[in-house]
Amino acid sequence: MASRTLTITLTPDWRGALRAAGQAAQADRYQGETLNFETPAAFFGRLTERRWMLVQTLLGSGELSVRELARRVGRDVKRVHEDTSVLAELGLVERSERGGVWCPFEDIHVDLRLRRAA
């Protein structure tokens, strides 16, 4: 697999999103990966502006140490370590055995639709 793609969705019906992902997984070719949040609050609570900056810095940069990543974004190493831990838990970044981090995706798409309440 040459390149990986990620689509981030906001779908309250997580069961339906899981079914759709399962159906797409049965295709013979790579369909990309999906990360779903049930609410905008969950999305914005986990993917803050500072965490997005880390993902953006890591896109296409290859593996970086947490210290180097912190230097590039001008932030404290401890806070960058905490944020990369959350991003790794979500699957947006991966860690190497040496402790470095990288973003495995070539393309990240956010599918965000907000509607007025019924």
- The least confident of 17-26, 58-67, 96-105 is 17-26
84: exposed, middle or buried (C-beta count within 10 Å: 0-12, 13-18, 19+)? Answer: buried
CA distances from 4 to 25, 72, 103, 108 (A): 14, 24, 10, 9
Residues in CB range of 103: below 8 A, 6 or more apart: 55, 58, 59, 60, 61, 92, 93, 94
Task: Read off the pTM.
Answer: 0.79
Predicted local confidence at residue 15, as pLDDT = 76
**Could you give the domains of the chain?**
4-111 (1.10.10.10)
Q: What is the mean pLDDT of residues 60-70?
A: 95
Share of the chain above pLDDT 90, in %: 47
Cα 93 → chain centroid: 7
- The per-residue pLDDT for 118 is 67
